[in-house]
Structure 1
Amino acid sequence: MVFRFLVILVFGHFSAFANPEFDSLKAVIELDTSDHNKIRTAIYLSRQIHRANPSDEDDFYYAELALELSSLQTDTLLIAECYDNLGLLYRYHSFYAKSTPLHIKALEFVKNLNVDPYFKMRFANNAGVSARYDQAFDLAVDNYLYALKIAERENDLRNIAIASNGLGNSLSHIEGKSEEALSYYLKALESESQRENTLGMAMNYLSISGYYLRKQDYTTSREYLDKLLVINTERKDQHGIAMTYEYFGHSYLEEGRNLDLAQDYYQKALGVFSEIDQQHKVAGILLALGEVGQKRNEPATSLRYFKQAYTIAKEVHNKALLMQSSRMLSRSFEGMGDFSQALKYFKTFEAYKDSLNLIEQESTISGLRMEYDFEKKENELNLLQAEKDVQTQQFLLTEEKFKRERIVLFGLISAILVITLVIILSLRNLNLKKNLAIQQEEQKRKELQATYQNDLLQAEILATRMQMNPHFLFNCLNSIKLLIQKAQNRDAIKYLTTLSRFIRDILQTSKMPTVTLSEELDLTKKYIELEENRFEEKLDLKVCLKNISEEDLQRTQVPPMILQPFVENSIWHGLLPSNREVKRLSISIAKENDSVMISILDNGVGRQSKPVNQSNSHKSMGVTITQHRIELFNKITNSHMELSTLDHKDNNKEPKGTEVKILVT
C-alpha cells in the first residue's frame, strides 16, 4: 500500500484531476509526523476524490489507508470513523453487502463508549441505509430503532426524521408491518415540519404517497403528491418536480382508469429529466410510456418507447435498465408474432439478469469475506493484547523482586535466613504465576486456532458448492439450447419451466449446510424429471423405502444435492449408452441399525465401458466435488458418511450395471 502511495505521489495520479487542493492534502499525508492528522486528512481526501470523480477508485485507496493507520491508534472513535467512511464509499458505489458490516463495526466500537451521541446515531442510521438497500430489512429495522431511541432521548429532530423515514421504508417491505410503516412516515414528516426542512418534508410526502400507491388508495396517494408538487415548485427543485410528475403517472397507470393522464404526466416528467440531463431517469420514463402504450393496445407506440429506453440504457451502461428494457422488447415482439426478435432480446435480458445476479453474489461473498477478516483481525488483536498483559505482569513481578532485593541489601544480617525464605517463596509464587499465564495463553491460542479452522472449513464448503451448481446448470442450459436449435420450442418452454421450479427449490436451501434426507430425495426426483426431458427414451425409476419411516428421513441430515452427481452418472454414463430395452434406475433407502443406507442402482453398461466419444481420462467433476463435500461434511458435523461403488456383472462376466452406496451414520 505504501509503495502504491509513493507511485501516486511521483506520477501525479488522480486520473485527469490535477487539483492543487489534492496535492496539498497528499503532502500532509506524506510529511506530517502526526498519524492522527494523516488519518483525518486521508478520510477527507477520500471524500473529495469521490465528489470530484466518482469513478476514480483512489477514493477507496485513501479510505483504506486511513483505516490501516488507525489500527495502530488507541483512539477508538477515530477507528470507528474510518470504518464508517469506508462503508459510505462502498455504499456510494452500490456495494451494499460490503458497506453494511463496516457501518455495524463502527457502531460496535462506540456503543459502550462515552462519546457524542451524534456518532452513535450516524453509524446506526448508515448501517440501516446499507442494510435496507441490501434488502436485509430486519437488520435495517434493528439499527434504525437503535438510532431513533438515542435521537428521541437527545430530542434530535434531524435524526428522529432520518431514523423514522428509514423505519417506514424498511417496514413497508415486511409483510404485516405496513400500518406501522405509515406511523413512522408521519413521525418523520412531523419532525421535518418542526425543523421547517422542506427537502425532508418533500421526501416524506413522496414516501407516504408511495405507501398509499402500494395500498391501491390512488386518491390519497395523489393528495400527497399535490402537496409534494407545491413544495418542489416553491423550492424550484427540477428533479423533485420531475419525480412528482413520474409518481402521478405511476398512480394513473396502476389505477388504469385514465391512461391519458398517465401519459401526460410521464411526458412532463420526461421533459424535465431530459432538460436536467438525467438519462437513466429518461430511460425509466420511456419504459413507463411503453407500458401505457401496451395497456392502450398500441403495440407500435410501446415498441418505439421500449427501443428508445434500450438505446439510452446502453449509452449510460445501466445494466438494470438494459435488463428491464430487453424484457419489455422481448414481450412486445412476442405479442407481435416476431419470435426471432423476441428470442434475441430475451437472450439479452437473461444475460444482463445473470450478470446482475453474479455481481450481487460477488458482493455478498465479499461482504462475508470481509466479516471473516474482521473476526480474524480481532482475534489477532486479542492475542496481541494477551501477550501485552503477560509482559506487563512479568514486569510488575520483576519490579517487586527488585524491591525485595533492596530490602535484603539494607536489612540486618540477623534477618538473612528470614529474607532468604521469603525470596524462595516469592520465586515459587512467580513460577506458578508464569505457568498459569502460559497455560492461559496456550488455551487462548487453541481456541483461536479452532475458530479459524472452522471458518476455513465453512468457506471451503461454500467454494465447492459454487463449483458444483454451474456444472449442473451448464448441462441443463445446453439441453435447452439444443431444443431451441431443433425448433422444439414447446419442449424447450416446458423444460425451462421445470428447471425454474427446480432452481427455486435449490435456492431455498442454498444457504443451509445440510438438508433433511426427505428434502434431498424430493430434489433428486425433480432432477430425474429434468433429465427425462433431455432424451426420448423413458426411464424406469423406482424409489423404495425399506424399514424406514418419514420421521427417520426428516431426522437424517445430508449435504444439499449429494445424490444428484451419482444419479447423473447413472443416467448419462450408464443408461444412455446401454442397448437394453428397459433402462432401470432405482433409489433405495433402508434403515440399518442406527445408520441409513442409500443405494443408487442402474442396469447400464457399467464403469468399464465408455462411449466412443469419451476419453479414458474423463473424470466426473460432479462426483469429485461430491467426494470432497462428503469429506468436509464429516469434518464439521457429528454425522459420518461413507461412499462405495459396486460394479455388477452377469453370469458371463459382462457388466450389468453400477451401484453407488452411501452410508450415513
Structure 2
Amino acid sequence: YDQARDYYQQALEINIEFGDRHSCARTYHNLGYVAQQLREYDQARDYYQQALEIFIEFGDRYSCASTYHQLGSVAEDLREYDQARDYYQQALEINIEFGDRHSCARTYHNLGYVAQQLREYDQARDYYQQALEIFIEFGDRYSCASTYHQLGSVAEQLREYDQAGDYYQQALEIKIEFGDRYSCAMTYHQLGIVAQQLREYDQAGDYYQQALEIFIEFGDRYSCASTYYQLGKVAEELGELEEAKANYLQDLVITAEFNDEHGLGISLRNLARFYQTTQDEDLLREVAKIFGTTVEGLKEAIINSEE
C-alpha cells in the first residue's frame, strides 16, 4: 500500500500539472482506497470526497456510485452505520439507474451488513439474498462465498444454528474451491462457534484450530486473539482449566499488543470471571506481568468491578 500510494501521488501530480481534473478524481478515489486499507479513515474520507466533488462537477454520475459505495465502507469501518446506509443507498440508486446489476449485488451485500449491525436481521437477510441472487445470475461463484458467510452469521445471531452451519459450509466449500485459504480461517472460526453452541466441543475445537493455523500461517496475529479466546472457552467447557488459562492469556497478550480497548474489556472481564471460578493465583501473576502491575492491584480492580 505504501508503494501504491507513492505511484498514485505521482500520477496525481502529473494530472494536476496538465489540468486533467477528471483523471484526478479517479486517482483521489484510489488514494482513498489505499488510506482505507491502512486504517487512515479520515484521510480516506477526504480523498473520496475530493473524487466525488470532481465527478459531480463533470456530471459523471455513474462514477459517483463507486465513490459513494466506498464512503459507505469508511463509515461502516467507523461504525457510523446510519451514515454508511445513506451512502450505500445513493450508490445503489445510481447503479440501478445505469443498469449495473452486478455492482448492485456488492452494495446489497454491504447494506445487509449494515442492517445486521443495527440488529435488523430480517432486513439484513433480504439484502443478502438479493446480493446472492445476482451473484448466482452472473455466475460469480466466488462472490457468493462472502454472502453465504454473512447469511450464516445472521442465522447464528438468530440462534438458527443448523441453518447457520449450512451457510458457513457453502461458503467454505467455495473458498476452498478457489484456493482462498485466508478467508477460510474466518469461516472455520464461525463454524467453531456454531459447533460450540450445539455443545459439540471436540468439533468446535477442531474448527478453531484450523482457523488458528491459517491466521498464524498468514501472519494475522490480531485475528488469532479471538480464536484463542474461543479455544479457551471450549477447554473450560471440557474441564481442561490449564489449557483454558493458556488460551485466555494468549488472547490477552495479543489484544494488549494491539491496544484493542474493546477486546481488552471483554478479555479482562472474562479473566476476572475465570479467576473467581479457579482462584488461580498464577493467573493473576501472569496478567500482572502483562500489564506491569501488581497482583494486589489486580485483585482490587476485580473487587471494584464487581461492585
Task: Decide which structure has the larger Cα Rg and report it.
Answer: 1
Report the CA distance between 1:130 and its aligned residue. Answer: 0.9
Report the CA distance between 1:489 and its aligned residue. Answer: 3.3
Report the CA distance between 1:128 and its aligned residue. Answer: 1.0
Which runs of structure 2 are paired with 1:466-615 in the superposition (5 Å)? 489=300, 493=304
Cα separation, 2, equivalents of 1:169 and 1:488: 40
Which runs of structure 2 are paired with 1:139-288 in the superposition (5 Å)? 139-175=83-119, 177-253=120-196, 255-275=197-217, 278-288=220-230
Conservation of the 8 A alpha-carbon contact between 2:251 and 2:267: no
Aligned to 1:523: none
Cα separation, 1, equivalents of 2:292 and 2:71: 32
Report the CA distance between 1:214 and its aligned residue. Answer: 1.1
- Over 3 Å counting, the alpha-carbon distance change for 1:165 and 1:297 in structure 2 is same
Conservation of the 8 A alpha-carbon contact between 1:309 and 1:325: no
Aligned to 1:304: 246
Cα separation, 1, equivalents of 2:94 and 2:299: 63
Report the CA distance between 1:491 and its aligned residue. Answer: 11
Deviations 1:70-100 (A, max 9, x none): 6666544233234323322221111223322
SS at match of 1:190: helix
Report the CA distance between 1:296 and its aligned residue. Answer: 3.0
Which runs of structure 2 are paired with 1:9-88 in the superposition (5 Å)? 49-50=3-4, 59=5, 63=8, 74-88=19-33
- Over 3 Å counting, the alpha-carbon distance change for 1:349 and 1:101 in structure 2 is farther
- Over 3 Å counting, the alpha-carbon distance change for 1:348 and 1:265 in structure 2 is same
- Over 3 Å counting, the alpha-carbon distance change for 1:77 and 1:226 in structure 2 is same
Query: TM-score, length-normalised on structure 1?
Result: 0.41
Conservation of the 8 A alpha-carbon contact between 1:121 and 1:159: no
Deviations 1:176-205 (A, max 9, x none): x32212111111111111221222000100
Higher relative contact order (CA 8 A, sep 6+): 2
- Give the CA RMSD over aligned residues: 3.6
Cα separation, 2, equivalents of 1:288 and 1:203: 22
Which runs of structure 2 are paired with 1:440-459 in the superposition (5 Å)? none
Report the CA distance between 1:281 and its aligned residue. Answer: 3.8
Aligned to 1:320: 260
Report the structure, 1 or 2, having the larger strand content: 1
Which runs of structure 2 are paired with 1:119-130 in the superposition (5 Å)? 119-130=63-74
SS at match of 2:168: helix
Report the CA distance between 1:209 and its aligned residue. Answer: 0.6
AA of the residue aligned to 2:69: N
Instruction: Name the count of aligned residue pairs.
Output: 304
Deviations 1:576-623 (A, max 9, x none): xxxxxxxxxxxxxxxxxxxxxxxxxxxxxxxxxxxxxxxxxxxxxxxx
Cα separation, 2, equivalents of 1:81 and 1:488: 56
- Over 3 Å counting, the alpha-carbon distance change for 1:329 and 1:66 in structure 2 is farther
Conservation of the 8 A alpha-carbon contact between 1:238 and 1:276: no
SS at match of 2:199: coil
Deviations 1:363-402 (A, max 9, x none): xxxxxxxxxxxxxxxxxxxxxxxxxxxxxxxxxxxxxxxx
Report the CA distance between 1:349 and its aligned residue. Answer: 6.9
Report the structure, 1 or 2, having the larger helix content: 2
Report the CA distance between 1:246 and its aligned residue. Answer: 1.6
Cα separation, 1, equivalents of 2:117 and 2:13: 37
Conservation of the 8 A alpha-carbon contact between 2:245 and 2:283: no
Cα separation, 2, equivalents of 1:146 and 1:124: 7
- Over 3 Å counting, the alpha-carbon distance change for 1:79 and 1:140 in structure 2 is same
Deviations 1:282-309 (A, max 9, x none): 4432221111122333321111223444
AA of the residue aligned to 1:49: Q
Residue 105 of structure 2 is aligned to residue 294 of structure 1: no
Percentage identity across aligned positions? 23
Match of 2:42 among 97, 113, 126: 97
- Over 3 Å counting, the alpha-carbon distance change for 1:195 and 1:311 in structure 2 is same
Report the CA distance between 1:112 and its aligned residue. Answer: 5.2
Q: Which runs of 5+ in 1 are unaligned?
A: 1-46, 51-58, 352-480, 498-665
Cα separation, 2, equivalents of 1:347 and 1:137: 38
Report the CA distance between 1:265 and its aligned residue. Answer: 1.8
Query: TM-score, length-normalised on structure 2?
Result: 0.82
